[in-house]
Amino acid sequence: MYRYYKKYVPYLFILPAAVILVLFFFIPFIETVVLSFRDYSTNLYDPNFVGLDNYVSLLKSKEFYKVMWNTFLYVIGAVPILATVPLFLAILINQKIRCLNLYKILIYLPVIISIVVVAIAFKWLYATQGILNYFAELFKISPIDWLTSPDVAIWSVIIVTIYKGIGYYMMIYLSALIGAPKDLLEAAEVDGAGLIQKHLNVTIPYLMPTIALVVTVSTISALKVFAEIYVMTRGGPLDSTKTIVYYIYERAFENLDLSMASAASVVLLIIVMVFSALNILVFEKGKYEP
Amino acid sequence: MNRHTKGFLSHLILITVSILSIFPFLWLVSTALKGQAENIFQYPPEFMPKFPTFENFVGVWHQIDFVGYFINSLIVAGFTVVLNVIFSALAAYPLARMNFKGKNLIFYLILATIMVPFQAIMLPIYLIVLKLNMIDSVSHFAGYVGLILPFAVNAFGIFLMRQAFMAIPKELEEAAFADGCNIFQIWWKILLPCVAPTCAVLAVFTFIGSWGEFLWPSIVLTDKSLYTLPVGINDLQGMFSANWRYIAAGSIISVIPILIFFLAMQRYFIAGHNDGAVKG
C-alpha cells in the first residue's frame, strides 16, 4: 500500500499521551522503587542509600503485618461474593422478563454514586442507635458495634465495597451472557434439565473465563480500597481496618515517612502486577495484541 | 417449577435486591426530611417523616458552598474527559493503523501501565506535581491543572479507542487521501466521526470516575475553594459532627447532578460494558 503520511506522523499522534504517561506513570514508577531504597528520616533533601533497610524495618513492624492481614481479609471477604452474586443476578436479569431495565438501573445505581456518599449512607445505617441495630433488636440480637468493634469493623467496611461493586460486575456478566450458546441451552431444556441444572451445565462453564476475569479484577480493586476506610473508620479501631493503601497514605501524607511509604508501595505494586499480568496474559489474551 | 412460579420468583428476588440497592439512599432522604421535632434515633424507626420539611436542605445549602464544589467538580471532570478522549483517540490511531519503528515497544509500554496501580505511585506523582508547581497554593489555575493532568490519559482509553479504529474499513482513509485530505484531516474529519460512539462511552466512564474521585483531590487540595464534591461532602462529617439531618441533606444534594447525568446517559453505560470497557 502507498504511504499517505510522513515518517514522523505516528510519533506526533502518540506524543501527547506519551508525555502524560512518562510524567505520571513511568517516572513515578521508577521513583517509587528508588525512594524505597533511601532513608528520608535523617535528611529529607539528601537521603542516604540504605539498600533493603526500609524493607527490613517494614518486615519487623507489627503494624505492617496487621495491615497485610487486613488486606488479605478484605480480598477474602469481598472477592467470592463479588464473583458469584452478580453472576446470579445477571442470569436472573438475562431472562425475558418485565421491568428488566428498571432492575438494571436500580442495581447499577450504587456504581455511579460517589464512594464518599455511599460510605456516609452506610455510616448512618451502622450508627449505634441506627436502623440496622433496630433490625438486630427485632431478631433478639444485642446491638452490634458495626464500626467501633475491632472484630466487626472490617466486615462492615467490606460490605460497603461489595455493595458498591455488585452492579458493576453484574453488567460485566450480562454482556458476557449475550454470547451464551442458545442452542446448547435449548438442548438442555429439551433433555429435561431443570433451571438450575441448565445453568450449572451450560451457562457457568461458558462463563468460566469471565468469572476468572471478575475474580482478578475484583481482587485488584479490593487491594486498592481507600475511600471507604478513610470516610468510615480512618483505619481504626485499633488499626483493625487499616489496609495497605490506607497505610501508604498515612505514612506518606500524614507521617511524612517517605521511606516506609515507598517500601509498602513496592509491595502493593508487586502484588497488583501479578494479578494484572494474569489478566492480560491469560484472561484477556485476545484483547491486547499489537 | 412451572413458568409462572419461575417468573414470580425471579421478580421477587430482583425486587428485593433493587430495594436493598437503593435503601441506603432512601434512608438518607428520609432522615434529611425529618425536622427537629422528630427523633431520628427513635425505635421503631419511622420510614416516612411525619412532618416532612426542607429545612435541613435549606440550612445545609446556606452553610456549604455546593455551587462552588459543583463547579469545581464540573471543571475537573469536564477537562479530564476532553483530554482523555482527544489524547486516547490521537494515540490509538497510529497504533491501530500505521506501521512505524518501535510500534511494538510503544504498544507494550502502554500496556505495562495498566498493571501499575495509581495508589502505589501516588507519592512520587505528588512530588512531581509539587515540583511543577501544579498546586492550589500557587494559583487556582495551577490547582486545577494538578487535579486534571495526572489523569489526562490512560491505557484503558487508548486500547478502547484502538479497538474502535481497527473496525473501520481501510478504504475510507484511502478515499479521503485521494480526495486531498492530509493525515490530520483524515483523523479529524473522517475517522473520528466513525468512532464517535466509542468516544461517548469513554467520555461517560471517564466522567463518572473523575466525578467520584476522592483519593487524589484529598491529597493535593489545600484550598477549600477548590474542593470537589466528594472532598466537600466528606468535610460535612467534620462540620456537623452529630447533625445527621444536615449530613444526610448535604449528601443527597450532592448526588442529584450525577443521578441526572446517569439517567440521561444510561445507554452508554450498557454499551460500554458490552464493549469490554472494563477497568481493574
CA pair distance A166, A163, nearest whole angstrom? 6
Residue A57 Cα, gap to closest chain B Cα (Å): 19
Contact assignment for A172 to B21 by CB distance below 8 Å:
no
Task: Choose the mutation target among B11, B87, B240 for the interface with A, i.e. most A CBs under 10 Å.
Answer: B87
Q: Would you state the cell numbers that stand for residue A59, as one nine-digit string?
A: 518486615
Contacts of range B99-108, beta carbons closer than 8 Å, 24 or more positions apart? B100/A7, B100/A10, B100/A11, B103/A10, B103/A290, B104/A290, B106/A14, B106/A18, B107/A290, B108/A290
Give me the pLDDT at residue A43, please. Answer: 66
* Interchain proximity B41–A129, CB inside 8 Å: yes
Neighbours of B58 (CB within 10 A): 10
Residue indicated by cell numbers 441448565: A198
Q: What is the pLDDT of residue A123?
A: 94
pLDDT for B112: 92
Q: How far is A153 from chain B (nearest CA, A)?
A: 18
- Give the integer Cα–Cα distance in Å for B153 and B88: 6
Residues of chain B in contact with residue A224, where contact means CB-CB under 8 angstroms, are: 117-119
Among A1, A104, A272, the residue with its CB nearest the CB of B115 is A272
Partner residue facing B230 (CB), from A10, A14, A114: A114
Q: How many CB pairs under 8 A join A and B?
A: 286
CB contact under 8 A, B187 and A13: yes
Give residue B267's pLDDT.
83
pLDDT at B18: 96
pTM (predicted TM-score): 0.92
For residue B236, which residues of chain A lie inside 8 Å, CB to CB? 120
**A45-68 per-position pLDDT tens digit:** 777 788 888 899 999 999 999 999
B11 vs A: CB within 8 A: yes
By CA distance, what is A194's nearest residue in B? B1
The C-alpha cell at B127 is 512530588
Q: Which residues in A lie closer than 8 A to residue B251 (C-beta atoms)?
A: 117, 120-121
pLDDT reported for residue B72? 96
Q: Cβ–Cβ of B215/A227 closer than 8 Å?
A: yes
**How far, in Å, CA of A68 to CA of A37, rounded?**
21
**CA distances to A179, A207, A278, B7, B166 from A283, in Å:** 17, 12, 7, 34, 21
Chain A contacts of B110, Cβ < 8 Å? 17, 21
Average model confidence (pLDDT) across chain A: 90
Q: Helical H runs in A113-152?
A: 115-125, 131-138
CATH architecture entry for A61-256: Orthogonal Bundle (1.10)
- What is the SS3 assignment for B209-269? HHHHCCHHHHHHCCCHHHCCHHHHHHHHHHHCCCCHHHHHHHHHHHHHHHHHHHHHHHHHH
Q: Which residues of A touch B233 (CB under 8 A)?
A: 114, 116-117, 120
In which residue are the cell numbers 452508554 written? B268
Question: Which segment of A269-278, B137-146, B239-248 scores lowest on mean pLDDT?
Answer: B239-248
Q: Where are the domains of chain A?
A: 61-256
pLDDT at residue B276, rounded to an integer: 62
Residue B3's pLDDT is what?
A: 67
pLDDT the model gives residue B196? 93
Choose the closest CB to A217 out of B87, B173, B278. Answer: B278
Residue B277: the pLDDT is 55
Judge whether residue B280 has pLDDT over 50.
Answer: no
In which band, very low, low, confident or very high, does the pLDDT at B238 lie, cut at 50, 70 and 90?
confident
B2 touches chain A (CB under 8 A): no
Q: Which residues of B touch A123 (CB under 8 A)?
A: 237
> In the structure grid, which three cell numbers stand for residue A6, read together?
510522513
B90/A contact by beta carbon, under 8 A: yes
Q: What pLDDT shows up at residue A1?
A: 46
Instruction: Look at A99 and B110 and tell me if their CB atoms are within 8 Å.
Output: no
Percent over 90 (pLDDT), chain B: 69
Domains of chain B: 3-53 (no CATH), 64-274 (1.10.3720.10)
Which of B13, B21, B185 should we substitute to test contact with A (largest number of A Cβ atoms within 10 Å)?
Answer: B21
Q: Which chain B positions have a beta carbon within 8 Å of A245's beta carbon?
A: 119
Q: Is the pLDDT of residue A97 over 90?
A: no
Nearest to B151 by CA among B53, B237, B240, B85: B85
pLDDT in tens, A118-164: 999 999 999 988 899 899 888 988 888 999 999 999 999 999 999 99
**How distant is the alpha carbon of residue A247 from its chain centre?**
16
What whole-number distance in Å separates Cα of residue B261 and Cα of residue B249?
A: 20
Which grid coordinates belong to B227? Answer: 474542593
Chain B 127-186, CB below 8 Å of chain A: which residues? 127-128, 149-150, 152-153, 155, 158-159, 163, 170, 173-174, 177, 183, 186
User: Which residues touch A68 (CB under 8 Å, ≥6 apart)?
Assistant: A244, A267
CB A268 within 8 A of CB B119: yes
Give the CA distances from residue A240 to residues A122, A148, A246, in Å, rounded to whole numbers and listed in that order. Answer: 18, 10, 12
Per-residue pLDDT, A172: 92
Confidence grade of residue B75 (pLDDT, cut at 50, 70, 90): very high
pLDDT at position A116 is 95
Q: Given a cut of 70, is residue A167 above it in pLDDT?
A: yes
Q: Looking at beta carbons, which residues of chain A come within 8 Å of B91?
A: 13-14, 16-18
Q: First CA to last CA across chain A, in angstroms?
A: 20
Who's near A64: CB < 8 A, 6+ residues apart? Answer: A58, A247, A264
Q: How confident is the model at residue B157, as a pLDDT? A: 94
Least confident of A181-190, A227-236, B210-219, B241-250: A181-190
Given a cut of 90, is residue B48 above it in pLDDT? no
| pLDDT of residue A288 exceeding 90 | no
Chain A residues in contact with B11 (beta carbon < 8 A): 97-99
Q: Which residue has the higher pLDDT, A207 or A185?
A: A207
Among the partner residues A17, A92, A113, nearest to B91 by beta-carbon distance: A17
Nearest one of A226, A223, A221 to A252, comparing CA atoms: A226
User: What is residue B209's predicted lDDT score, i.e. its pLDDT?
Assistant: 93
Q: How far apart are CA A167 and CA B181, in angstroms?
A: 45
Query: Residue B4 has which C-alpha cell?
Result: 409462572
Residues 6+ apart with CB under 8 A from B152: A20, B80, B83, B84, B87
Helix (H) or strand (E) holding A38: strand A38-39
Residue from the list A131, A262, A287 with its beta carbon closest to the beta carbon of B276: A287
Distances (CA, A) of B260 to A109, A119, A188, B27, B256: 11, 21, 43, 20, 6
